[in-house]
Amino acid sequence: MKNYIKADEWNIIEEGFDPHLNKISESIFSLGNGRMGQRANFEETYTGETLPGNYVAGVYYPDKTRVGWWKNGYPEYFAKVLNAANWVGIEVRIADEVLDLATAEVSEFKRVLNMHAGVLERTFTAKLKSGKTVKVKATRFCSIADDEVGAIRYSITPVNFDGKLTLSPFIDGDVKNQDSNYDEKFWTLVSDEIIGTEAYIKLRTKKTEFEVCTGSNIGLYKNSEKLDVKIAEIRKEKFIGQTLTLDVKANEEITLVKIAANLSSENYSKEALLKETKAVIAKATAKGFDTLLKEQKEAWATKWEESDIVIEGDVSAQQAIRFNIFQLFQTYTGKDDRLNIGPKGFTGEKYGGSTYWDTEAYCVPFYLATAPQEVSRNLLIYRHKQLGKAIENAAKLGFKDGAALYPMVTMNGEECHNEWEITFEEIHRNGAIAFAIYNYIRYTGDEAYLAEYGLEVLIGIARFWKQRVNWSSNKQQYVMLGVTGPNEYENNINNNWYTNLLATWCMKYAAEAAGIVKSQQPEKYTSLLESVNFKDHEFADWADIIEKMYYPEDQEKGIFLQQDGYLDKEQILVKDLPASDRPINQKWSWDRILRSCFIKQADVLQGLYFFEEDYDLETIKRNFDFYEPRTVHESSLSPCVHSILAAKLNDEARAYEFYLRTARLDLDDYNNDTEDGLHITSMAGTWMSVVEGFAGMRVRDGKLQFNPFLPTQWKSFAFTIGFRGATLKVNITENGISIKNNNDVDLEIGIRNQIYKLAGNTELEVDNAELV
């Protein structure tokens, strides 16, 4: 746990330069715009500890899965998100000394990530070995208004000397991944070109043959007057740059502006890529840095209007929640239905930048409420596009007749994770994908989605479950054997309550969805069922399983059992574990973890969170009280579900305590792993803790409902959400709740147990005293 980020409502601030914190800060100050992103590596040379990271959405490398004991059905490859060309580089030389913060004496160092504007600023003073001192101010952003463009303004002022200054902006494609085996590099050069102030490099990934063209255009200024300086070209392997040397005087500010673009063959033909990159650079250069910056600020201001959470009385909480919202929008903007949300976004290599069930279970609720409807719709369409691959994936494992098993980890629809207990067994992800469709329709009311995309996916998923269960003649019930639930600290278990529940729910919902499509679009229904070769008996098969499924329970304790035999385990509580044993995933052997009763993350409780309407409070409480004390929360996805359930159980103190565990997870490097990248998907969980937990927001019967409480640590909190054409500002204070409807749409809103009318452009205020 670290505590070096200065508290501020809108900015993430680091003051003073501590090289030991640099990799953590590189993650925290990362920039992205949904299409590309980068760690906060320095522009100038840095020979200290650093993890270079530049990423382009959708570009990956299929690293061969290598395991000693190959099991049939293993995925062929493990997808790596690729470290791509670095376009931020600017080498700075003063006479013949290189500016390098690892060797210079650094003072007045300050990094500020302005979340309202989407801009990173770094200022410092550096005294070189020779005693020459410079002041630097670097400003950069990845444009969210034009997501192929990034820009840097790098200003340098000699403090105590006149002399030669050499600036060498470059694009370096000779990069490798930190996680590459044997230092393997994944890019080959297609072409490069330097034309005066412009430079372009086109690189191709090995195997996947993605091409990415990175271009830049530079301009040099003295006290904001443009300079015309001779440019020398630099060419090295997969590296191009320009050198500009000039005589400078003390206190004269020299500014290099570098406007960059990243275009990939995912969006253009390979032949057109260079031409298109030139066009993007020309357009962005014509606008200039200030205009690009203005557009960036405006685009971010719009995002904040739709999504901000304001917390009064706790600056550190305020900073944290905005940081989470900011990073989520830097990762995914919803413009492209082929893209998704990697658990580390654009901030590191871990988790391969791939899509997990995190998207459906955690991120969809966030985007539903904070972004235009098409954003979460695109997340759903992403899976629809990959339905064919999910059917192939299931077929590889022996399923048939259109059964679909979505991958646990994917870049393009193919499974690309290589642990059998996860890929073969952690099949609950299929259920989360179906649940997200339900959640989307419940929130938006967009039932037409079912006919267009949703039903086909639901049928594929339901078919999988139908084939995955088997009839136990012993129990005279259906069972599901050999699975891994969300709690990955158990593998190959039988009858994971959560997975069994999801399976039957999916079949129920698929049948219900079919009914909706049939009544609303009968022709489409007939053609869709024909196209998936739907057989009459399938509904009946599902109904039989729904009726006769086995769910493990312990009647005496009144709890659902995480799996068969869970109570045979030695029942120890987490509070009785010595601190030196934690986290158990770092301290214990894997077999010991598997034999223990300890739970990595919400499992039974994940089911009670999804389907809370089906259970009374007493049941939820008994299960919560039983499972939480056995949960080590060693996944960052865990605390938020517990926070929301605790809030539902009116345990406000614990709801807040769980919220705190992830709210500043990365800002305070809580788990000592922020340097690898940020926990992007769990950031959505933190948002859920506030909105679904503290404000108790739900959608029931097409209406928003709130069941709010104010954490005692806060004076008030307010958030903005979009719901069915209305933008609502919800404000919760110690006196009660107010909801302002900023659009011309009339709504009915539930607060606790009462329904209120909220006409368009009006405000509803309900005092605590009135709440029942």
Active site residues: 488
Q: How far is the CB of 87 from ligand BGC (least distance, A)?
A: 28
- The H or E element spanning position 619 is helix 617-627
Question: Would you count residue 351 as binding ligand BGC (CB under 6 A)?
Answer: yes
Q: Restricting to residues 485-514, which ones interact with ligand BGC according to CB under 6 A?
A: 486, 488
Q: Between residues 140 and 600, which has the closer beta carbon with respect to ligand BGC?
A: 600
Q: Restricting to residues 237-276, which ones interact with ligand BGC according to CB under 6 A?
A: none
Tell me, residue by residue from 546 to 585, as one string, x for binding to ligand BGC by CB under 6 A and - for no binding. Answer: ----------------------------------------
Q: Between residues 358 and 628, which has the closer beta carbon with respect to ligand BGC?
A: 358
Q: Between residues 389 and 428, which has the closer beta carbon with respect to ligand BGC?
A: 428
- The H or E element spanning position 125 is strand 119-127
Q: Between residues 495 and 681, which has the closer beta carbon with respect to ligand BGC?
A: 681
Distance between CA 427 and CA 488 in Å, rounded? Answer: 12
Q: Between residues 211 and 669, which has the closer beta carbon with respect to ligand BGC?
A: 669
Q: How far is the CB of 684 from ligand BGC (least distance, A)?
A: 11
Of the listed pieces 55-63, 246-254, 352-360, 513-521, which binds ligand BGC according to CB under 6 A? 352-360
Question: Would you count residue 538 as binding ligand BGC (CB under 6 A)?
Answer: no
Q: Between residues 357 and 449, which has the closer beta carbon with respect to ligand BGC?
A: 357
Pick the closest to residue 684 from 411, 384, 329, 339 (CA basis). 329
Tell me, residue by residue from 353 to 372, as one string, x for binding to ligand BGC by CB under 6 A and - for no binding. Answer: ---xxx--------------
Among 390, 529, 599, 637, binds ligand BGC (CB under 6 A): 637
Distance between CA 598 and CA 262 in Å, rounded? Answer: 46
Spatial contact of 345 and 682, defined as CB atoms under 8 Å apart: no
Spatial contact of 86 and 54, defined as CB atoms under 8 Å apart: yes
Pick the closest to residue 152 from 86, 207, 218, 228 (CA basis). 218
Q: How far is the CB of 68 from ligand BGC (least distance, A)?
A: 24
Pick the closest to residue 173 from 142, 212, 216 (CA basis). 212
Half-sphere exposure of 361 (CA within 13 A, CB side): 26
Q: Restricting to residues 587-606, which ones interact with ligand BGC according to CB under 6 A?
A: 600-601
Q: How far is the CB of 637 from ligand BGC (least distance, A)?
A: 5
Q: Does 357 show up as a binding residue in the annotation?
A: yes
Question: Considering CB under 6 A, how many residues would be counted as binding ligand BGC?
Answer: 12
Q: How far is the CB of 351 from ligand BGC (least distance, A)?
A: 6
> Can you list the positions of beta strands (E) in 441-592?
470-472, 477-479, 553-554, 559-560
Q: How far is the CB of 593 from ligand BGC (least distance, A)?
A: 13
Q: Does 713 show up as a binding residue in the annotation?
A: no
Distance between CA 559 and CA 623 in Å, rounded? Answer: 5
Residues with Cβ within 8 Å of 244's Cβ and at least 6 positions away in sequence, in order, are 166, 167, 168, 218, 220, 229, 230, 231, 232, 256
Spatial contact of 218 and 258, defined as CB atoms under 8 Å apart: yes
Q: Between residues 635 and 674, which has the closer beta carbon with respect to ligand BGC?
A: 635
Distance between CA 432 and CA 221 in Å, rounded? Answer: 54
| Cα 517–Cα 403–Cα 73 angle in degrees, nearest 5 | 155
- Return the C-alpha torsion angle 165, 169, 173, 176, nearest 10: 50
Residues with Cβ within 8 Å of 147's Cβ and at least 6 positions away in sequence, in order, are 33, 34, 35, 36, 333, 335
DSSP string for 250-312: TT--EEEEEEEEEEETTTS-TTTHHHHHHHHHHHHHHHHHHHHHHHHHHHHHHHHHHH-EEEE
Sign of CA dihedral 328, 330, 334, 338: negative
Q: Restricting to residues 651-710, which ones interact with ligand BGC according to CB under 6 A?
A: 681
**Cβ neighbours around 657 below 10 Å, total:** 15
Q: Between residues 384 and 600, which has the closer beta carbon with respect to ligand BGC?
A: 600
Q: Between residues 257 and 363, which has the closer beta carbon with respect to ligand BGC?
A: 363
Half-sphere exposure of 376 (CA within 13 A, CB side): 29
Q: Does 601 show up as a binding residue in the annotation?
A: yes
Among 33, 635, 674, 720, binds ligand BGC (CB under 6 A): 635
Question: Would you count residue 394 as binding ligand BGC (CB under 6 A)?
Answer: no
Strands 239-248 and 163-172, bridge-based pairing: antiparallel
Q: How far is the CB of 642 from ligand BGC (least distance, A)?
A: 14
Tell me, residue by residue from 304 to 343, as one string, x for binding to ligand BGC by CB under 6 A and - for no binding. Answer: ---------------------------------------x
**Cβ neighbours around 544 below 10 Å, total:** 15
Q: How far is the CB of 358 from ligand BGC (least distance, A)?
A: 5
Q: How far is the CB of 342 from ligand BGC (least distance, A)?
A: 9
Annotation: binding site: 357-358, 600-601
Query: Annotated binding residues for substrate, as ranges?
Result: 357-358, 600-601
Could you list the residues that contact ligand BGC (CB under 6 A)? 343, 351, 356-358, 486, 488, 600-601, 635, 637, 681
